Amino acid sequence: MTGDADLLLQLFHRYGIHAFRLVNGRYAATVATGQCVYLATDHAGSVPLYIRPGRGEVFASTEAKTLARHGGPMGLPVPSARRVRRLAGVYQVPAGTVLAIDLKTGTTDAHRTWAPALSRRIVDEDEAVQSLREVLDTAVRSRLGQDGPPLVVLSGGIDSSGVAALAHRAAGALDTVSMGTETSDEFPQARVVAEHLGSHHRELTLQTSDLLARLPHTIWAAESLDPDIIEYLLPLNSLYGTLKGPQRRILTGYGADIPLAGMHREDRLPDLDSAVAYDMETFDGLNEMSPVLSTMYGHWTTHPYWDREVLDHLVSLEAGLKRRYGRDKWVLRAAMAELLPHETVTRPKLGVHEGSGTTSAFSLILTEHGVPEESVPSAKRQVVQELFDRTVVNGEHPDHVSTWDVVGEVADQLKERRTVPSARRPVGSPQLHAAPAPGLQPAPEGD
């Protein structure tokens, strides 16, 4: 055997579709046997897989835009898959799923190979901390590669710093990189960790105008319609595009917030666990970890917190280990306490979209175009949808799509919706006041 594909085929020949329940990895796979085609995604759907099935044939791709420009059949319905906006007959295979398509009949059967844990485990503090440190250490070590020092994206928060500390302990030498803008950065916090670990550290500063100019590229790469997710991914995609030098394998701390409820400032444990359950139920299809975000610039990214074993471990811990002694993500902070400076372990949570100024910059260009603050969230969604339609559906190259032009168009549409022309009326007739028109609403999924 010469690679992962050979290993997967050997497992498939022995176990059938159950082979995908044995694999802890990052993949999208297609296996053809006679009249049946099997299309599989890893547990997290971290490599998106899209299909356009027809009678007697199936077109598959890891990017929807490829199928958008394919002159193939309109496709047969796939009830167990998710339709892609404005791409008739194109579906996304759910995370942790094998779709078995009969080429003769066109029928599809879905087989789940992974699902987030619904039960929770009560364990004592020492066991929780030690077991997390071990499973995360294994995940980091398995992602280091053999091509020189690992490179870790470092913000100075507990998530990325924990990955950096474990990578340093495993590899000895370590490269780290941080990104900010002229309005906001986390350079001082990242520098504390870099100096503590002795890493070769770089700081990259982008102008917010350059950051926002990459918005079409981020949406083109992620093929996501969620504006919050796009705000998380924009600074990372921009960082990958700014890195100079040879192609790199890049480790990130991305994704820890979902199983640890890091973005939820919630002290009540039932509500905190409800947030974890909801986020784990709804992450599929957001494409947060699509490799295209980095491979478009020649780099490969990998995310230890979404290793299958790490994810199973974190999700199943009871909420009291995630919020404890007044601290979010307590179990992770405790697991990293011996490897990192105290100020890093106790530093409050700050999202990459906040630390880089991405969210505020996106909001600012909308308000500068006359969008009222209360309409900014819906305007962001409309901008993301328009950029998706242009770059993914219509095939426009992101280099040729202007963020500012699209923002201006959306702002004008909102202004038209808010402006209700007064009806002509006879002199002396009572004046009627029209209620303001509602703001733009997102189109239904699949339109």
Task: Please state, in angstroms and rounded to a whole number, the distance separating the CA atoms of residues 48 and 68.
Answer: 15
Q: State how far the alpha carbon of 46 is from the alpha carbons of 18, 86, 286, 306, 328, in Å.
A: 19, 22, 10, 9, 26
Annotated active-site positions, please? 254, 288, 349
First to last CA, the chain: 44
* Contacts by 105-113, CB closer than 8 A, 24 or more apart: 105/55, 106/53, 106/54, 106/55, 106/76, 108/53, 108/76, 108/78, 108/79, 108/80, 108/81, 109/80, 110/80, 110/81, 111/17, 113/17, 113/18, 113/20, 113/21, 113/40, 113/43
Pick the closest to residue 149 from 126, 178, 172 (CA basis). Answer: 172
Rg (CA), the chain: 24
Q: State how far the alpha carbon of 361 is from the alpha carbons of 85, 218, 252, 329, in Å.
A: 27, 16, 23, 28
Task: Please state, in angstroms and rounded to a whole number, the distance separating the CA atoms of residues 406 and 401.
Answer: 8
> For the packed helices 158-171 and 125-141, what is the interaxial angle rounded to 10 degrees?
60
175 in a known ligand binding site: no
Task: Please state, in angstroms and rounded to a whole number, the distance separating the CA atoms of residues 165 and 170.
Answer: 9
Amino acid in the structure at residue 351: G
| Contact (CB, 8 A) for 151 and 353 | no
Pick the closest to residue 12 from 81, 98, 92 (CA basis). Answer: 98
Amino acid in the structure at residue 5: A
Task: Please state, in angstroms and rounded to a whole number, the distance separating the CA atoms of residues 196 and 21.
Answer: 40
Token pair 């997390």: residue = 132
Cβ atoms < 10 Å from Cβ of 80? 15
Known binding-site residues equal 4
Known binding-site residues for L-glutamine equal 4
